A = this chain, B = another copy of it.
Amino acid sequence: MADPTLSDLAAEAGVSRSTAGRAMSGHKSVRDDTRRRVQAAARRIGYEPNRIARSLRSRNSMFVGIIVPDIAHGFYGRTVKAAQDVLEAAGYQILVMNTDREPHREQAALKTLLAHRVDGILLASSGGVTESPPVPTVFFDNLVAGAGEGNVARANKQGMDILVGHLVDAHGCERIAYLSGPPILTSGIERLDGFRDAMGARRLPVVPEHVVFGDEAWSPESGTVAMRDLLALPERPEAVITASDTIALGAIQAVRDRGLAVPDDIALVSFDDPFFGAFMEPQLTALRGDERALGEHAASLVLQALRTGSRERSVEVRIPVALTVRRSCGCASPGASH
């Protein structure tokens, strides 16, 4: 019971294999009634073109590889899904590889994808790949300056400015702390720089002890530890900005554990708005990142490189972020957008 092949289809339709093949692949020079006859035959015998054979012969795998730290992580899950929607609509399938943030696994993933002859790559690097792979590549989230056909990330610096701005303008905060991710990859570096710039622009000092670093996974647990350190300081900050929603989760718990409350004793705003931001206590004031736009944009850039075939200089795209004001910053009620 092997799958029917083009030969079977040709026999059933009473045409040559060439014509049968052309009819199935949407080639222009096939008479309309011939095409219909072939398609009817295909339906009759349940013919489905073998994508593997097609790939081998046409030298297009129609696969795009995607490398992320962790597909089970909300941000990457949503980004990948958005990219997948765009790529599938263009006839591509995706091959997703997880690296768990280990550079050597990132290199292994790249090798696997190349063995599968992917036509292009979307890469949220953890530092394992530092130069352009031999196929069109778009870096996203963590960027490799000038590499690949494109770089897509959220507007990290601008985002930090919005967060600092809200705390200062709406709440009159001056002593603002920052719970940072490790400043190793661009997302971590840009947010830290953005925090410093935003503070400096407002003539506010960045107290060294008020910048605390979490772990590589930006985990809730590291947020708890960091916030605990912060609260142990003699001079407690009025507000804290967390570099991610996960860090915020841990930080809020540390505040509660200390018998204090957000936002009454300390205000908190976060980069990244989790899907449950409106269901937390207190509801989280946070920056929406629009992962869908990010994934779609990254996918569009590879598609463009695939279509034009030109390996042009890398373009850099920034996805804007917007503040969702809720309760954790000290605002009275949810609703208003910055």
The reply to whether B279 and A52 contact each other, CB–CB distance below 8 Å, is: no
Known: A78-B72, A93-B116, A95-B93. A276 touches B249 (CB 8 A): yes
The reply to whether A71 and B71 contact each other, CB–CB distance below 8 Å, is: yes
The reply to whether B56 and A53 contact each other, CB–CB distance below 8 Å, is: yes
Q: How far is the CB of A220 from chain B (nearest CB, A)?
A: 6
CB of A202 closer than 8 Å to a CB of B = no
Q: Which residues of B contact A313 (CB under 8 A)?
A: none
A 88-113 contacts with B by CB, 8 A: 93-96, 98, 111-112
Q: Which residues of B contact A115 (CB under 8 A)?
A: 48-51
The 9 closest A-B pairs by CB, nearest first: A281-B281, A72-B77, A249-B279, A72-B78, A72-B81, A77-B77, A52-B56, A51-B116, A52-B55
| 25 interchain pairs, CB-CB under 8 A | A48-B111, A48-B114, A50-B117, A51-B115, A51-B117, A52-B55, A52-B61, A70-B81, A71-B71, A71-B81, A72-B74, A72-B77, A81-B98, A93-B116, A95-B95, A96-B96, A220-B275, A220-B279, A249-B279, A250-B279, A253-B278, A253-B279, A256-B281, A280-B280, A281-B281
